[in-house]
Structure 1
Amino acid sequence: MYFCAESFSIVLLNQSALNHSEDSICKTTPHADYCNYILPSNKLHSIFDYGNISIHHSLSNARSLLASVEHLLALPSTSLGTVRALEDCRFLSDQNVDYLSQVSDGLNSFVADDLHALLSAALANVETCFQGLESMPLASSIKDRLFRSNGTKSISVSLAVFRHWDDGDSTVTRRNLMVPKSGSIHERNSPLSLLMSTDKQAIHEFATGKKDIKTLTNGKISVAQVVMVSPRGDGQFTTINDAIASAPNNPSDNNQYFVIYVVSGIYEKNILIPSNKKNLILIGDGIGRTIITGSRSTADGLTTFNTATFAVAGKKFIAVDITFRNTAGPSKGQAVAVRNGAEKSVFYRCSFEGYQDTLYAHSARQFYRECDIYGTVDFIFGNAPVVFQKCNIYPRLLPNKHNIITAQGRTDPNQRTGISIDNCIIKASGDLASSSGAKKTYLGRPWRQYSRTVYVRSFMDSLIEPSGWIEWNRDYGSTLYYAEYRNYGPGSSTDYRVNWPGYHKDISSTEADKFSVSNFINGDKWLPETGVPFNGDFL
């Protein structure tokens, strides 16, 4: 396979941006009053100045929130449930301090797409923190202290500023790069391509030293080390967590990977890959052979965020040929198999098995290719910019209840987040297909006010309800964005779909292409180095 490279422009932010008034900026955020409060009323030299101010407020609020959480965690009287919610907040707030510090330190040279991704993820982090705390019986004084920082509002203002920043060629500089543009792309020269093979002999030889890992380089991408996890004791590690701990923290080379080969077996352990473990690749022996499993659920008194069997935050994470499972079952409510908040992360030929809330695409740009996803209620959910391509989506049997595939959580109109389901197959799982009686399955429901989900070129079997979508307990029909484009199969007819103002049937190819790998998650810029195949656009 080959591709033709062509010139592709990326957007860089700089200080020569056009002037804007704070009034025009504030009209584009849901928090206009707060925006006018923090931005000066006099016209500044450029929108770059507004950006500096808004990011300063966002970073200051992130640090304030983190300090308040640390203080509350130190109090001996804090209940266990509250401690768990606060621990989530500490994790998320610490990540936000890192994100916003990156933006603040490199503001005048940031790639616009990357900046929007970081700010969108930061807003998702604050929202998740507050959602967990709101469900806890906290004293009003404690809640006031935590919410006083207006963390969501300041980041919302920052998003509004940078929406203005790259509106039109005159407000940005552009740099031409030679990168692949569309079609079916597989970076043949990526040394990671060899590791993606279904034949595991090569990776076994790298892990055992029979092959020199120096061959896994092409001048840009390289592999620092390949280690093996085996419960039989014939690898460097017997547990996945120990192998992760051995990976370097915050590697200085952004294009050097650490590879963990996990041989076939069942690994009953909850796993977290923290944000300091970047450029990590986890490769198994195949779906149903290498299995990572756990059984945490909200019925155990945990937050949804903390139920994940496998959670990852480290940038540029890749998983291949692994089954991720949560066995809590259909009666125990929210129980996450995978929670992903890793920027530019990829899951390839993996399986996600659970019931309610199986796959938590929490935040940051994500790509899933040729994966199997099983669940019942909201089993693909979160607020990441994410594309699922050539995946199998299997609603499962949930007695006396209906299934809902997606629940997207976009909270701000300026967030570049949403769920894009491209060229996938939606069919009943074995237990649902063999059950007697009709079981309703919906394409999605709006978890938050600006929920955004599209289905493109996908097969929909007869289990999909003619109305397609179902409301939440709030009316978000006019602010959400749901769309379908060129789907097929007995459940794909849009004749009887919902008539919400925010639902769009039979959208144009140009509109659909906004949600492609190239345009929605900027995949042309970062996926080729991973060695994972992808289709760039819909046109």
Structure 2
Amino acid sequence: MATSPIFHPTPLFLILLGFSLSLSLPNLPQSSKLIEPETVCSSTPHPTFCKSLFTPNKPCNILHYFHSSAHISLSTTRKFLNFLNRYKNRSSLSKTAIRALKDFRLLSELNIDFLLSSIEAVNSINTLSIFRAHDVQSLLSAILTNQKTCFDSLNSTALMPWSVKNGLQVPLSTGTKMYSVSLALFTHGWVKNQNKAIPERNLLKTTTRNVSVREKVIVRQDEKGDFTTINDAVAAAPNGTSLSDGYFVIYVVAGVYAE
């Protein structure tokens, strides 16, 4: 994101688009039949890791696989948040490191909110509107973007103690694998074969937790926003800012961004 070796930009938020303007038909998973773990995990970025999450040779439907992975992701996020709290009151940390860790906590709290919303949306009735399915997919994608922000900050923050950096690498990596598996399973079950054309929708009223906002931009693939790619929006975020300057908020229109 920045060419400077010192990383202390305004934190990034991916606040998504949602709420359809019209009703849509219920959306059932593309496959409600029983599937072997080896088969369903082959559609994820980490097949071996995915298979380790489920009982071998015990076929389940896609709803079970997603619910299981989403709850494991939620547990993983809460554990990471508790792990971060160990460093909350360390006076030996630099201001830059403290700022980065505060961002990690805030992004982890957002990840928990996004996971809870996704789990709630995929209920036992097993139906979603087309609009809602794409919103859930975008929420799960936003979690991965939050993880990328944490990784970039961890590797770029000046004066971050080696013990802290080394201690956070593994849980961050594990969390990223979990989130990517959950996203892949949801995509496989609910949106894999849907038409990519989605009608216009209103902006989802997602809170930024009462933090100060200095600027908002919108990413739209149809060139009607400020940027057409997430990477361009991230690159536009200012560097060297302080928390008092406010947050740079990125709104992303729901969809698949192959970047």
TM-score (norm 1): 0.33
Between structures 1 and 2, the one with greater helix share? 2
CA–CA distance in structure 1, aligned partners of residues 152 and 77 of structure 2: 16
The DSSP-based 3-state class of the residue aligned with 1:75 is: coil
Match of 1:102 among 95, 100, 117: 117
2:233 is aligned with what amino acid?
F
1:154 aligns with 2:178: yes
Q: Which residue of 2 aligns with 1:90?
A: 105
Any conservation in 2 of the 1:15–1:46 contact (CA below 8 Å)?
no
Q: Which residue of 1 aligns with 2:45?
A: 30
Match of 2:155 among 134, 148, 157: 134
Using a 3 Å threshold, how does the CA distance of structure 1 residues 40 and 138 change in structure 2: closer, same or farther? farther
Deviation at 1:121, TM superposition (A): 0.6
Any conservation in 1 of the 2:37–2:51 contact (CA below 8 Å)?
yes
2:189 is aligned with what amino acid?
W
Instruction: Extract unaligned runs of 5+ from structure 2.
Output: 1-21, 236-253
Deviation at 1:54, TM superposition (A): 0.6
CA–CA distance in structure 1, aligned partners of residues 225 and 178 of structure 2: 38
Using a 3 Å threshold, how does the CA distance of structure 1 residues 161 and 16 change in structure 2: closer, same or farther? closer
Deviation at 1:118, TM superposition (A): 0.8
Any conservation in 1 of the 2:30–2:189 contact (CA below 8 Å)?
no
Q: How many residues align?
A: 204
What is the correspondence of 1:158-237 to structure 2 with a 5 Å cutoff? Answer: 158-166=182-190, 167-168=192-193
CA–CA distance in structure 1, aligned partners of residues 136 and 84 of structure 2: 26
Match of 1:55 among 55, 63, 70: 70
Deviation at 1:367, TM superposition (A): 8.2
Match of 2:146 among 96, 121, 125: 125
What is the correspondence of 1:433-452 to structure 2 with a 5 Å cutoff? Answer: 451=259
1:52 is aligned with what amino acid?
H
Give the number of the structure whose alpha-carbon radius of gyration is greater.
1
The DSSP-based 3-state class of the residue aligned with 1:381 is: helix
Deviation at 1:12, TM superposition (A): 3.2
Q: Identity of paired residues, percent?
A: 31
Deviation at 1:13, TM superposition (A): 4.9
Between 1 and 2, higher relative CO (CA 8 Å, sep ≥ 6) is seen in 2
2:74 is aligned with what amino acid?
L
Q: Which residue of 1 aligns with 2:208?
A: 275
The DSSP-based 3-state class of the residue aligned with 1:40 is: coil
1:79 aligns with 2:94: yes
Using a 3 Å threshold, how does the CA distance of structure 1 residues 64 and 181 change in structure 2: closer, same or farther? closer
Q: Which residue of 2 aligns with 1:280?
A: none
Deviation at 1:138, TM superposition (A): 3.4
Any conservation in 1 of the 2:36–2:60 contact (CA below 8 Å)?
no
CA–CA distance in structure 2, aligned partners of residues 56 and 81 of structure 1: 33
Deviation at 1:151, TM superposition (A): 0.9
Between structures 1 and 2, the one with greater strand share? 1
The DSSP-based 3-state class of the residue aligned with 1:138 is: coil
Q: Which residue of 1 aligns with 2:241?
A: none
2:232 is aligned with what amino acid?
I
Using a 3 Å threshold, how does the CA distance of structure 1 residues 379 and 146 change in structure 2: closer, same or farther? closer
Q: Which residue of 1 aligns with 2:10?
A: none
CA–CA distance in structure 1, aligned partners of residues 231 and 114 of structure 2: 28
Any conservation in 2 of the 1:68–1:145 contact (CA below 8 Å)?
no
Regions of 4+ moved over 4 Å: 7-11, 13-16, 365-368
1:380 aligns with 2:228: no
CA–CA distance in structure 2, aligned partners of residues 11 and 382 of structure 1: 35
Instruction: Extract unaligned runs of 5+ from structure 1.
Output: 1-6, 170-179, 188-253, 258-272, 278-307, 311-337, 341-346, 348-360, 384-414, 419-449, 452-539
2:77 is aligned with what amino acid?
A
Using a 3 Å threshold, how does the CA distance of structure 1 residues 34 and 181 change in structure 2: closer, same or farther? closer
CA–CA distance in structure 2, aligned partners of residues 366 and 113 of structure 1: 15
CA–CA distance in structure 2, aligned partners of residues 17 and 57 of structure 1: 21
Any conservation in 2 of the 1:25–1:160 contact (CA below 8 Å)?
no
Deviation at 1:125, TM superposition (A): 0.8
Q: Which residue of 2 aligns with 1:70?
A: 85
What is the correspondence of 1:234-253 to structure 2 with a 5 Å cutoff? Answer: none
Q: Which residue of 2 aligns with 1:509?
A: none
Any conservation in 1 of the 2:29–2:189 contact (CA below 8 Å)?
no
Deviation at 1:18, TM superposition (A): 2.6
CA–CA distance in structure 1, aligned partners of residues 42 and 69 of structure 2: 15
2:208 is aligned with what amino acid?
S
Backbone CA RMSD of aligned residues: 3.9
